[in-house]
């Protein structure tokens, strides 16, 4: 089946369109971050003169440095715990028949769609009494309300694809479920687990509502919250340059992840919904 030239041109054009759609707002933020402070209001898409002053500004600000550290630490730990716990649960869901399985899946799906605003009030109240307010753990726990169900869901979808004959063979050899899980499943599942970890990391990294509600200082404030609270020099002047530069800095890791793992991320995102 050959495609005509017209058809080819059409596809190329539409590809260009799609890429432009995705990239233009990001290019805009990058170009804003590279404009000189005095050029910020020139209404040009591209910077006339490239300057790194905004990057220097944000990196000389200790608040931003600690926010990055908090973001990386909190999102990683939340992702790690979610994947660890999620692995066990997903394995049971895919491999074993047991009463309560259906209820559990419905429960997990429900929590994944949970409105975070529904629990920030109680969490704020409990956290301020227990001293978890403005701590890493105080954000890791609420993050797990969405990272854990997501992890279970995506992992379950991945686990369905894994060849089980190997495990059966192991069981015939006398291994218990737990043994077969560790010996056979873990190596087979490693790539899926890794992808899931990346996905839930991105979700935790991007959270805003919990971060602005449950933190207040450099102790645990993550980057999105820090950016939103950058203080401008006058009441109506947003520190546009700093916001843009900080946005670029936090988007870079996400972009690298996407560039390297796009195929697996797409598989992870969609398999959960289609099969799940």
Residues in 180-239 that interact with other proteins by CB under 8 A: 202, 205-206, 208-209, 212-213, 216-217, 223-224, 227-229, 231-236
The binder of other proteins chosen from 98, 163, 165, 173 (CB under 8 A): 98
The binder of other proteins chosen from 68, 149, 150, 192 (CB under 8 A): 149
179 makes contact with other proteins (CB under 8 A): no
The binder of other proteins chosen from 133, 139, 170, 193 (CB under 8 A): 133
Residues within window 100-129 making contact with other proteins, judged by CB under 8 A: 100-102, 104-109, 111, 113-128
172 makes contact with other proteins (CB under 8 A): no
Per the CB < 8 A criterion, the answer to whether 158 and 189 are in contact is yes
What whole-number distance in Å separates Cα of residue 222 and Cα of residue 260? 25
Count CA within 13 A, CB hemisphere, residue 102: 1
266 makes contact with other proteins (CB under 8 A): yes
The binder of other proteins chosen from 36, 72, 73, 94 (CB under 8 A): 94
166 makes contact with other proteins (CB under 8 A): no
263 makes contact with other proteins (CB under 8 A): yes
Phi–psi pair at 2, nearest 5 degrees = -95, 150
Cα diameter, the chain: 74
Helices (H) and strands (E) in the chain, counts: 12, 0
Q: Shortest CA distance to 200 belongs to which of 252, 268, 263, 251?
A: 268
What whole-number distance in Å separates Cα of residue 68 and Cα of residue 212? 15
Of how many residues is the chain composed?
A: 276
168 makes contact with other proteins (CB under 8 A): no
**Tokens 């449950």 label which residue?**
214
The binder of other proteins chosen from 74, 139, 141, 245 (CB under 8 A): 141
CB of 273 to other proteins, least distance (A): 5
């Amino acid at each position: 089946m050959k495609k005509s030239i017209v058809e080819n041109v059409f596809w190329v054009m539409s590809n260009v369109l799609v890429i432009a759609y995705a990239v233009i707002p990001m290019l805009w933020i990058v170009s804003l971050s590279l404009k000189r402070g005095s050029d910020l209001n020139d209404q040009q898409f591209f910077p006339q003169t490239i300057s790194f002053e905004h990057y220097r500004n944000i990196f000389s600000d200790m608040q931003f440095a600690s926010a990055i550290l908090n973001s990386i630490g909190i999102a990683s730990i939340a992702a790690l715990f979610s994947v660890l716990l999620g692995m066990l649960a997903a394995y049971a869901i895919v491999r074993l028949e047991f009463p309560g399985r259906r209820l559990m899946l419905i429960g997990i799906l429900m929590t994944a769609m949970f409105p975070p605003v529904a629990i920030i009030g109680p969490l704020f109240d409990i956290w301020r009494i227990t001293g978890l307010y403005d701590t890493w753990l105080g954000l890791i726990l609420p993050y797990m309300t969405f990272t854990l169900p997501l992890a279970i869901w995506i992992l379950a979808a991945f686990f369905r694809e894994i060849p089980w004959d190997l495990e059966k063979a192991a069981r015939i050899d006398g291994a218990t479920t737990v043994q077969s899980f560790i010996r056979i499943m873990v190596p087979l599942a490693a790539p899926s687990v890794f992808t899931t970890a990346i996905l839930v990391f991105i979700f935790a990294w991007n959270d805003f509502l919990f971060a602005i509600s449950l933190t207040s200082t450099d102790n645990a404030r993550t980057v999105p919250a820090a950016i939103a609270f950058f203080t401008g020099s006058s009441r109506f002047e947003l520190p546009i340059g700093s916001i843009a530069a900080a946005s670029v800095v936090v988007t870079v890791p996400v972009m690298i992840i996407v560039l390297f793992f796009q195929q697996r991320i797409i598989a992870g995102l969609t398999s959960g919904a289609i099969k799940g």
